[in-house]
Amino acid sequence: MSIATAQQLDTADTVTLLTEHGGDLREDDLFSPYLADIDDAELCRIYEDLVVVRRIDAEATALQRQGELALWAPLLGQEAAQVGSARGIRPGDFVFGSYREHAVAYLRGVDPTLILRFWRGSTHSGWNPYDINMTTPAIVIGSQMLQAVGYAMGIMRDAKRDDSIHDIAVTYFGDGATSQGGFSEALGFAASSHAPVVFFCQNNQYAISAPVGIQTSVPIVQRASGFGMRGIRVDGNDVLAVLAVTRYAAERARSGDGPTLIEAVTYRMGPHTTSDDPTRYRDADELALWKTRDPIDRLLRTLEYRGLATDEMLAAVDAKADAVAAEVRKGCLETVEPRPESIFDHVYSEPHSLIEEERAEFLDYHRGGAE
C-alpha cells in the first residue's frame, strides 16, 4: 500500500514562532500581535504549565502500571498543542474535547484527581461540564465536533438577544477523527451557519497504529478550504504559535467571522494508551527525531536565551509539578468508589417506571430479601 508520507503531508505553510534551536521569537505580521501581552513572567508560567501537565501524565502512567488505573491515554509530546490552545480561549467559551485533552481540562480548572476517576473506571465523566465549560471524555471518535457546532449555533442565537455575549465553542480532535463523517458534517454545518466555533485538530501523526497518511492524502488543514472556511496549520510543538493562532481563530469566531480549522502538527511520543505498544508500528528513529522537537525543550531554549531559565525558576517549577503529582496520586488512591445502586441514578432526569422497578429489585436482591 502506498500512503502519503510525512513529507507529502508537510507541504502546507506552518505557523512557527519559536525558533528551532534557540534565539528569540520569530516575527509574524499576522500572529505576533496576538502575543503582545506575553511578558517574561507569563512565559515562565506557560513553561510551568507544560512541565506540570507532563508530570501529571507521567504520574497517571505510573499509577496504571501499579494497577490503580484501568487505562491511561498519555499526552506526552502534545503538551504545547494543548497548553497553547487552552490558554488561547476564555473561561466562558465551551470546549468539546476528545479523550486525551488532560492538559486542557487541567488548565480550565478541573481537579486532576477527577480526570483520573474516568480512567480508573469509577465514573463515565469525572467533572461537571458546566463547572469548567468543558465536556468529559468523548470516546467515540468524531462524535463531539457536531455538538460543538450546535452549541455555537446556540451562542449565535443568544447573542442576538444579548449583545454582550461573545462566547465561542472549541472542539478538539485528532487526525484519525478527520476521516469520520461527523468531521465533514460538522465543518459543513459550521460553515453554512457561520457558527462561532474553532476546530482544533491535534495531528499527532497516529491513530493508534495508523499513520496520518492512511487518513488523508493532503494536509488536513486543506479540508477547510473545501468548506469555505479559514484553515491554519501551526507547529503544534510551539506553544506560543499555538497560543497566537488559537487567539486569532477565537477572535474571528467572536467577531462573527465564522469558524476556523486549526491543524496543530505534533507528535504522540508515547503509546496510544497504556495498553498499546508503539514499537510494533513505528521506528525508533522517528521518535528520536521528534524528541529533538520536544515542546518543553523548545520553550526552554527561548527561556534560556532570555535568561529566564534560572535554577530557582526551574526548581520552583519542578516542586510545583511534584506537588501536583503527589496530589493526583493521593486523590487516586483515596477514590471513593460509587455505590453499586448508583448505576440507576441519572439514567433519566425524570422518573421512569422501569428504572424504579429494577432499582427496587436490585436493592432487594443485594440486601438479601427473599422475594
Partner 1 sequence: MGEAGSTEFRLPDLGEGLADAEIVRWMVAPGDSVTLNQIICEVETAKALVELPSPVVGVVAKLRVSEGETVTVGTAIITFEGADVPAMVEMPPETPDASIDARTEAPDDEGRSSMLVGYGPGDGDSRTGARKRRHAQRQRAVPVEQPAVSATVAAKPPVRRLAKERGLELSNLTGTGANGVITRADVEAASAPTATSSTPSRDGHDETRVPISGLRKRTAAAMVSSAFTAPHVTEFVTVDVTPTVELVEKLRAHPAFSGRKVTPLLIVSKALLFALERHPELGSRWDEAAQEIVTRREVNLGIAVATPRGLMVPNVKDAAGLTLVELAEALSGLTERARDGKTELSEFSGGTITITNIGGFGIDTGTPIINPGEAGILCVGAIRRQPWEYRDEIALRSVLTLSLSFDHRLVDGFEGSGFLADVARVLADPTELIALG
Partner 2 sequence: MAKALNAGLRRSLDDDDRVMLMGEDIGRLGGVFRVTDQLQAEFGADRVVDTPLAESGIIGTAIGLAMRGYRPVCEIQFDGFIYPAFDQIVSQLAKIHTRTEGAVTVPLTIRVPYGGGIGAVEHHSESPEAYFAHTAGLRVVTCSNPDDAFGMIQQAIRSDDPVLFFEPKRRYWDRADVDLDAAPTVGLYDARVVIAGSDLTVVAYGPMVATALAAAKEAASEGTSIEVIDLRSLSPIDFDTIDRSVAKTGRLVVVHEASVFLGIGAEIAARISERCFFQLEAPVLRVGGYATPYPPSKVEQYYLPDVDRVLDAIDRSLAVE
Interface residue list for partner 2 (CB under 8 A): 94, 96, 123-125, 128-130, 136, 140, 143, 145-155, 157-158, 160, 169, 181-182, 185-186, 188-189, 192, 345-350, 352-355
Cell of 50: 507544560
Give me the least distance between CB of 96 and partner 1, in Å please: 22
Note whether 11 binds partner 1 by CB under 8 A. Answer: no
Give me the least distance between CB of 275 and partner 1, in Å please: 4
- 139, HSE (Cβ side, Cα atoms, 13 Å): 8
Cell of 19: 525558533
Q: Which is nearer to partner 2, 140 or 326 (CB)?
A: 140
Is residue 267 among the annotated active site residues? Answer: no
Is residue 268 among the annotated active site residues? Answer: yes
- 33/361 Cα distance (integer angstroms): 64
Q: Identify the three-state secondary structure at position 169.
A: strand
Amino acid symbol at 135: T
- 148, HSE (Cβ side, Cα atoms, 13 Å): 37
146 interface partner picked from partner 1, partner 2, none, CB below 5 to 8 A per type: partner 2
Is residue 281 among the annotated active site residues? Answer: yes
Note whether 311 binds partner 1 by CB under 8 A. Answer: no
Active-site residue (options: 120, 272, 293, 298):
272
Contact 156, 150 (CB under 8 A): no
336 interface partner picked from partner 1, partner 2, none, CB below 5 to 8 A per type: partner 1
- 124/139 Cα distance (integer angstroms): 10
Q: Identify the three-state secondary structure at position 359.
A: helix
Length of the chain: 371
Note whether 58 binds partner 1 by CB under 8 A. Answer: yes
- 104/343 Cα distance (integer angstroms): 28
363 interface partner picked from partner 1, partner 2, none, CB below 5 to 8 A per type: partner 1
Q: Which is nearer to partner 2, 152 or 245 (CB)?
A: 152
- 287/290 Cα distance (integer angstroms): 5
Q: Which is nearer to partner 1, 307 or 369 (CB)?
A: 369
Contact 228, 161 (CB under 8 A): no
Place of cell 484501568: 70
291 interface partner picked from partner 2, partner 1, none, CB below 5 to 8 A per type: none
Active-site residue (options: 65, 90, 281, 348):
281
* Catalytic residue positions, numbered: 268, 272, 281
Residues that bind partner 1 (CB under 8 A): 58-59, 62, 64-67, 70-71, 121, 273-275, 277, 279-280, 329-330, 333-341, 363, 365-371
